[in-house]
Amino acid sequence: MRCLFLRYPNLKTHYLLSRNATKKITVIAELQEESKFDVVGIRAPLKLMSFYGSKALKTRISTKKKIIEDLEDTGIEIVGICGLPGISKTIMAQEVMTQVLKDKLFDEVAMVVVSKDVDIIRIQDKLAEMHEISKISNELNDIAKQIAERCKGLPLALEVVSKTLRNSEVHIWRDALNQMRHCQHSDVINSSIELSYDYLESNEHRSFLLLRSVFPEDKSIPIESLVMR
C-alpha cells in the first residue's frame, strides 16, 4: 500500500532503532560520568637533545686538527669543509681561521661569504679590500704604540694626543709621529699640547684658542669680548 506515492513507515523498525539509540545514550552518559578524573596524567619534563656530546666534540676537534694539518701541507692548495646545512661549517672555518692566526701559520687570513651564484670579480675585490684594511690596521697599531712610547705613559699627554688623532686617516697618524720625533720640546706635555694645537681644523680654531688663553681660567667670557677682539 502506498500513501502519497510513498510507502507507509515501518513503525516496529522505527521503535527498535529508537530504543537502541536510547540505550546507547544511557551507556555513553555513564561512561562519561565514570571517566571524570581530577588528574589524568603528568607531563614528563622535556629533555633537551644534545647536539654537542662528548663524541661529537671529539670528532669536531679531530676535524679541526686535520684541516690545520692540511693547511700546513704545501702540496695541498685547497681544503674543503663539506656537509649538510646547519652543521656549523662556517663556525668551523672561523675557528680554523682564529687558530692559524694564533699559531702564526699565515701572516693574514681573509674570509668571504660566497653565494650559489659565484662572482669571481666580487670575491677578488672583497679580498683585496680586506687585505688593504688589514695592512692599514697593522700600521695604525704600530704607529699608536710608538706614539704611546713618546708620551712616556703620562695620562694627560696620552689623552691629548688620542683625542687629537681620533678618527683620523693613517697619513695623519704618520705625520703626528714624525712631528713628535722632531719636536724641540723635551717636555712631553708641552709637545703633546703643541701637536694638538697644530692639528686643529682651521686657523680660526687656533685663533680662538689663543684668544681664550688671554682670559683667566674658568672665567665666563661674554661673547661681546670675543667679537670686539
pLDDT tens figures, 73-117? 888 888 888 878 777 888 888 898 889 888 888 888 888 877 777
First vs last C-alpha separation in the chain = 129
Q: Is residue 9 pLDDT above 60, yes or no?
A: no
Are 158 and 166 a contacting pair, CB within 8 Å?
no
Q: Is residue 3 pLDDT above 60, yes or no?
A: no
Are 96 and 88 a contacting pair, CB within 8 Å?
no
Q: Is residue 41 pLDDT above 80, yes or no?
A: no
pLDDT digits (tens, 9 = 90+) for 121-135: 888 888 888 888 888
pLDDT digits (tens, 9 = 90+) for 154-191: 888 888 888 888 888 888 888 888 888 877 667 777 77
For residue 7, give the DSSP letter.
E
Q: Shortest CA distance to 197 belongs to which of 215, 219, 213?
A: 213
Q: 138 pLDDT band (50/70/90 cuts)?
A: confident
Are 64 and 95 a contacting pair, CB within 8 Å?
yes
**Mean pLDDT value across residues 17-44:** 73
Are 100 and 68 a contacting pair, CB within 8 Å?
yes
The pLDDT assigned to 2 comes to 46
CB atoms within 10 A of CB 214: 9
**Mean pLDDT value across residues 62-79:** 86
Whole-number mean pLDDT of the chain? Answer: 78
The pLDDT assigned to 7 comes to 54
Are 177 and 144 a contacting pair, CB within 8 Å?
no
CA distances from 77 to 71, 73, 123, 169 (A): 8, 8, 18, 37
The pLDDT assigned to 177 comes to 87
33-47, 123-137, 150-164, 207-221: range with lowest mean pLDDT: 33-47
- The Cα–Cα gap between 69 and 71 comes to 5
20-29, 128-137, 187-196, 215-224: range with lowest mean pLDDT: 215-224
Count of residues for the chain?
A: 229
pTM here? 0.47
